[in-house]
Amino acid sequence: MADFPMSPKERHLLDSILDQLIPGSCERNIPGAGEIGVADYLAHVAARRSRFDAALRRLLARASELTDGIDSDAIRRLEQSMPIEFAELLTESYKGYYSRPDMRAKVGVGAHPAHPSGYEVAQESAEFMGSLIEPVRARGPFYRDPSIAGGG
Amino acid sequence: MASDPVDVLIVGAGASGAAIAWSLLETRMRILCLEQGDHLQDSDFPSRRDDYELARYAEFSCDPNVRKLSQDYPINSEGSCITPVNWNGVGGSTINFLGHWPRMKPSDFRTRSLDGVGEDWPLDYHALAPFYDMNDANTGVSGLGGNPAYPDYTPPLPPIPIGKLGQTLAMGFNRLGWHWWPSDVAILSQDHDGRQRCVNAGTCDLGCAAGAKGGTNFTYWPVLENAGVELRTNARVREILVDRNTGLAKGVLYHGSDGQVHEQMAEMVVMACNGVGTPRMLLHSTSRLFPDGLANSSGLVGKNLMFHPLTGISGVFDEPMKGHEGPMACSILSQEFYESDPSRGFVRGYGLHSGRSTTPMTYALGGFGIDDPIPWGAEHREIMDNVYPYLAGLTVVTEDLPEEHNCVTLDPELTDGDGIPAPRISYCLSENTRAMLKHGEERAKEALLAAGARRILPNDSDKVWRRAGWHQMGTCRMGNDPKNSVVDGWGRSHDVKNLFIVDGSIFVTSGAVNPTATIQALALYIGDRIKTNIGSLFD
């Protein structure tokens, strides 16, 4: 059984909405959320969370009534008319999009799992760090110590 | 069902429970620790998964009300602008803490004498200093000695890299002539004691799969279990039992992994359940002798709850800041505005912490600890392409003053999975804190601009981070006067002579620094006092 059964028309509608929420960038070769199939992630979530399933169904039903097509104005109307459902859709769409390693890499973060590779960050040399902190050191002690006479 | 009695029964296997167990090892007493959660296996750490960020909003959320794991208890925080966060399991909240490790400062222990607010602690910085050092060595703390904002000490390991982001901000502070210093961190800058150095994964809150972060699951517990300390997991304490004749604690009732309620007797009970869990358990342990909760003759169990209210300011720079590379919370720390200055319009002070930025999903959803997604549409594309990579930020971490109306009580309806009442949090910001946050925001903007930020992102100054109640302090405070405190100067209950508390609930004031270094130093100090006074411990 599919996670969240959708007709081809509904799927196209959801993809169009997603491409409005997280649009791609031709210039940077970044696809939109609909284009990369975030709808599959949403269907997966809907199958496990009845509240989201209901919200998604209501949103799609309302969106299907938008006869002028799906553009940013239509999405804004959807947001205004169903703010709770829309907020859930937005949150899950961001999760679906940015949980993909390839999309993470598009904004400059490693596609790999954080462990075990991590990132190479060069250790500052003692000389560099010494010169950077020199003005701070030069101020001398910089705290109140009531156990020292006059330190309070 | 009853088990063999033990000498020392510790409730909670987090930061403080592990530290005091280590301190008491040399006594050769039989030590048992009951922990409501379990060990985390290597494969359980989400940072090894491709979709690791998703865990932050599900089974590895810092918020137990989101996680809803079987070992978690719900927390009713509807009456609070900050919700407590934690981890329940071996390591406690050191599993998902960020490892930032500043010490409290000498003035923090004397706020009444110096500034006329809060109360003075029954001990001072210098009494605690050897235990800070001892704990730093056990934990593997990295940092740079000679910080002029403290009496002299040197962390055992060299500092972790501060990176491009830290260097940039440091130059801004230098231009303003303000204090800053590389942060002390419970994160290894080099391989140490069989643990691997930090790989700069940037996901400290998702548990450190490498063991570089000084969670007690990697530091104290392997040593303790090898030495014979018994750690009984999936064991949720229900109530502390009291001998009706002597008034002493005689053990606990707990729900075991077998689903049964067990009785565990002990000569001494040590509470190490954090500033919410410990008062919850004391308030739930009522009896004919203690009708208002155990150790509560002062009426202060659960009162004076302190967090560290936070807000963040971000600047957009011309070059990528690579803020996701490196430990999340710690690069550099400015304490320029830490000490009181009457001209600022508030008492006490705050730190400016350079957080690194976070991963894309968390940023898009509003940031760490915040549920407020960034805009959708063209604005979304613009932000993720032209703002997110170029961000550096400063977090304003304010001292919270003790106020009795900020408190932990028992919820009359909400319970955990075993029917134990959940804690209910009542908490609001004081005017002093609001003034401090406002001042901190303005100074943070100055520092970011001095560091070269081309613009500052707008911030809603009326909001603090909600999911930011990491630091839970003050709810069973120390003191010499039994009418005005719950435990004495070495963590022993004024009312129940064989009941000790070693977690953040015994803090008298909060300082404006992450508390774990102090929590563990205090636990070691209390362990030392117990050993010193062992001959007359329950007199």
Task: For residue B327, tell me if it sits in a domain.
Answer: no
Q: What is the pLDDT of residue A2?
A: 62
Q: What amino acid is encoded at B44 in this protein?
A: D
Chain B positions in Cβ-Cβ contact with residue A133 (cut-off 8 Å): 144, 170, 181-182
Task: For residue B254, tell me if it sits in a domain.
Answer: yes
Q: What amino acid is encoded at B287 in this protein?
A: S
Q: What is the pLDDT of residue B229?
A: 98
By residue range, what is the domain housing residue A68? 8-106
| For testing contact with chain A, the best of B376, B380, B391 (most A CBs within 10 A) | B376
Task: For residue A136, tell me if it sits in a domain.
Answer: no
Number of domains in chain B: 1
**What's phi and psi for B153, nearest 5 deg?**
-160, 160
Cα gap B67→B77, rounded to integer Å:
15
Task: Tell me which chain A residue has its CA closest to the CA of residue B160.
Answer: A123
**What's phi and psi for B532, nearest 5 deg?**
-65, -35
Helix (H) or strand (E) holding B279: helix B274-284
SS3 A143: coil
* Average pLDDT over every residue of A1-8: 78
- Long-range pairs for B149-153 at CB < 8 Å and ≥24 separation? B149/A142, B149/A143, B149/B105, B149/B179, B149/B181, B149/B335, B149/B338, B150/A143, B150/B103, B150/B105, B151/A143, B151/A145, B151/B106, B151/B125, B151/B126, B153/B103, B153/B129
Residue B199 Cα, gap to closest chain A Cα (Å): 5
Residue A53 Cα, gap to closest chain B Cα (Å): 17
Q: What is the pLDDT of residue B358?
A: 84
Residue B153 Cα, gap to closest chain A Cα (Å): 13
pLDDT band at A1; cut points 50, 70, 90:
very low
For position B480, which CATH number holds? Answer: 3.50.50.60
Q: With CB atoms and an 8 Å threshold, state whether A109 touches B206.
A: no
Q: With CB atoms and an 8 Å threshold, state whether A87 touches B373.
A: yes
Task: For residue B503, tell me if it sits in a domain.
Answer: yes
* Cross-chain CB nearest to B124 (options A91, A116, A147): A147
Task: For residue B66, tell me if it sits in a domain.
Answer: yes
How much is the CA Rg of chain A, to the nearest whole Å?
25
Task: For residue B409, tell me if it sits in a domain.
Answer: no
Q: What is the pLDDT of residue B496?
A: 98
Number of domains in chain A: 1
Task: For residue A137, tell me if it sits in a domain.
Answer: no
By residue range, what is the domain housing residue B482? 1-38+62-140+214-284+469-533
At B275-292, the pLDDT tens digits run: 999 999 999 999 999 999
Which letter does DSSP use for residue B103 in this model?
A: P
Cα gap B138→B126, rounded to integer Å:
19
Task: For residue A134, tell me if it sits in a domain.
Answer: no
Which letter does DSSP use for residue B402 in this model?
A: -
Computed from CA positions of residues B295, B297, B298, B304, in that sequence, does the dihedral angle turn out positive or negative? positive
pLDDT band at B458; cut points 50, 70, 90:
confident
Q: With CB atoms and an 8 Å threshold, state whether A136 touches B179.
A: yes
Q: With CB atoms and an 8 Å threshold, state whether B203 touches A115.
A: yes
Task: For residue A147, tell me if it sits in a domain.
Answer: no
Q: Helices A38-48 and A50-63, interaxial angle, to 10°?
A: 130
* Average pLDDT over every residue of B418-439: 97
* Cross-chain CB nearest to A107 (options B50, B209, B360): B360
What does the block give as tokens for B164?
Answer: 């491009």
Task: For residue A112, tell me if it sits in a domain.
Answer: no
Computed from CA positions of residues A66, A68, A72, A74, in that sequence, does the dihedral angle turn out positive or negative? negative
Provide the pairing of β-strand B310-316 with B455-456. antiparallel
Q: What is the pLDDT of residue B464?
A: 79
Task: For residue B451, tell me if it sits in a domain.
Answer: no
At B295-327, the pLDDT tens digits run: 999 999 999 999 999 999 999 999 999 888 988
Count CB neighbours of B431 within 10 A: 9
Cα gap B309→B395, rounded to integer Å:
10
Task: For residue B94, tell me if it sits in a domain.
Answer: yes
